[in-house]
């Protein structure tokens, strides 16, 4: 499970509802969620401008009605997913611009479904069961550890530069190791390379 941290802002005046949502969000499996509670209209703007959350859960009526499109442009958050937080039925026309709604009676399962829907496009292509490296990926790791550039790896393995980049991305995702120094440790403790082979790369 190498999920990216999802920043979720909760703009709701009631402390009980607000912290209730925070607790419910933390219970959602397969997500790493950082909730932020926003308590006033003023801080909403500051927060959105400075911190660019991924999702905003907002009570659409408390601080006056929000023009969601305008809020996104004004705070330079074009990709922000806004979800309306509803206590009860509400006039549909007030929900313009919201990606979805959350009811205070939603279950954790339902919250998860709704988040899945919002973030699905960004979910990784790799299924989580299969995190073993392919042969090609292993070969790429060895090249990286030996200090080859992407271009040199492409030549060495007869691949296009594009394929090498995609291998490297998959390696980083599967292993959760991004740096060359980290891959070096991985390769040595897993005996993909011998320590003597790469000593020259370690000493500079």
Partner 1 sequence: MQHKFSANHKMSDLINENHSLLLVISRFGLHLGFGDKKVCEVCQTNGIDCNTFLAVVNFLSEENFEIENSYENISIDTVVDYLKNAHNYFLDFKLPSLRNKLLEAVNQPAQNLPYGLIFMKFFDEYVSEVQKHMEYENDTVFKYAKMLAAGKLDPNYSIAIFQERHNDIDSKLEELKNILIKYYPDKGSNHLLTEVLFDILSCEIDIISHNKVEDYFFIPAVEAIERKLNAAQ
Q: Which is nearer to partner 1, 32 or 96 (CB)?
A: 32
Among residues 30, 42, 128, 197, the one that binds partner 1 under rule CB under 8 A: 42
Kindly state the smallest distance separating residue 39's Cβ from partner 1, in Å.
Answer: 5
Among residues 39, 95, 99, 165, the one that binds partner 1 under rule CB under 8 A: 39
* 31 phi, psi to nearest 5 deg: -125, 145
Per rule CB under 8 A, is residue 33 in the interface with partner 1?
A: no
**Rounded CA separation 194/204 (Å):** 18
CA dihedral 170, 174, 179, 182 (to 10 degrees): -140
Give the helix/strand (H/E) hosting 177.
Answer: none
Q: Which is nearer to partner 1, 19 or 61 (CB)?
A: 19
**Rounded CA separation 104/199 (Å):** 59
Two structure tokens written together for 114? 């709704």
Q: Which is nearer to partner 1, 36 or 95 (CB)?
A: 36
Nearest to 98 by CA among 54, 121, 119, 68: 68
Size of the site for partner 1 (CB under 8 A): 31
Residues in touch with partner 1 (CB under 8 A): 18-19, 22, 35-40, 42-43, 46-47, 50-51, 175-179, 181-182, 184-186, 188-190, 195, 199, 202
């Amino acid at each position: 499970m190498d999920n990216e941290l999802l920043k979720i802002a909760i703009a709701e005046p009631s402390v009980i509802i607000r912290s209730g949502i925070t607790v419910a969000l933390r219970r959602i499996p397969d997500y790493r969620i950082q909730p932020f509670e926003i308590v006033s209209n003023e801080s909403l703007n500051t927060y959105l401008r400075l911190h660019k959350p991924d999702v905003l859960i907002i009570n659409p009526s408390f601080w006056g009605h929000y023009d969601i499109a305008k809020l996104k442009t004004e705070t330079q958050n074009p990709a922000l997913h806004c979800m309306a937080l509803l206590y009860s039925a509400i006039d549909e026309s007030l929900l313009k611009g919201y990606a979805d709604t959350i009811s205070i009676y939603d279950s954790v399962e339902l919250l998860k479904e709704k988040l899945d829907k919002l973030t699905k496009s960004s979910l990784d292509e790799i299924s989580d069961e299969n995190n073993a490296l392919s042969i090609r990926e292993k070969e790429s790791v060895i090249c990286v550890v030996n200090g080859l550039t992407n271009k040199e790896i492409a030549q060495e393995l007869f691949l296009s530069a594009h394929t090498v980049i995609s291998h490297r991305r998959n390696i980083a995702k599967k292993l959760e190791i991004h740096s060359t120094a980290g891959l070096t440790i991985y390769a040595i403790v897993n005996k993909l390379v011998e320590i003597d082979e790469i000593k020259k790369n370690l000493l500079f």
